[in-house]
Amino acid sequence: MTKINHRTLSAIATACLSFAFAQTASAGEVEVLHYWTSGGEAKAAVTLKNQMTKLGHTWKDFAVAGGGGESAMTVLKSRVVSGNPPAAAQIKGPSIQEWAGEGVLANIDDVAKANNWDALLPKVVADAMKYKGNYVAVPVNVHRV
């Protein structure tokens, strides 16, 4: 994982809490469906989890291995259809628009504004995180570039 300063990590962790499906998580517990399961990805997920713990929240890990995320998306679809979506999920860029179009992603403009995303994010990234002009996703990358 590339070095991230504490402020950025806090913003990501805080935003991760808000990257929620329309149904909210209970009392500080955030179930996070992701496929960061190998090597450095898993270590990065632990770093995010630890930061959220420092902020007083509980990260309920829901890691789904295999298929480059395909297995995780199958599980996510099943959970959403059954009315039991996780509070947060790792979703690749193009799919964000699809999920937002289904009305299952929450508006997180308040988090984006508080963390000055419009000034900090490249326009192409900000646009990918927005649906109809509103932030509905958090830009997170745990890979080295």
Q: Determine the pLDDT at residue 35.
A: 93
Q: Is the pLDDT of residue 15 over 50?
A: no
Among 92, 7, 16, 93, which Cα is nearest to 48's? 16
- Per-residue pLDDT reduced to its tens digit, 69-114: 999 999 999 999 999 999 999 998 889 999 999 999 999 999 899 9
Task: Write down the CATH superfamily of domain 6-135.
Answer: Periplasmic binding protein-like II (3.40.190.10)
Q: What pLDDT score was predicted for residue 66?
A: 85
The Cα 145–Cα 137 span in angstroms is 21
In this model, does residue 10 exceed pLDDT 50?
no
Q: With a threshold of 0.75, does the pTM exceed it? A: yes
d(CA 50, CA 136): 23
In the predicted model, what is the mean pLDDT of residues 27-31? 80
pLDDT of 23 > 80? The answer is: no
pLDDT of the residue at 24 = 45
What mean pLDDT do residues 41-52 have? 90
Rounded Cα–Cα distance for residues 145 and 131 (Å): 26
pLDDT of residue 145: 52
pLDDT at position 142: 65
The pLDDT, as a whole number, for residue 14 is 42
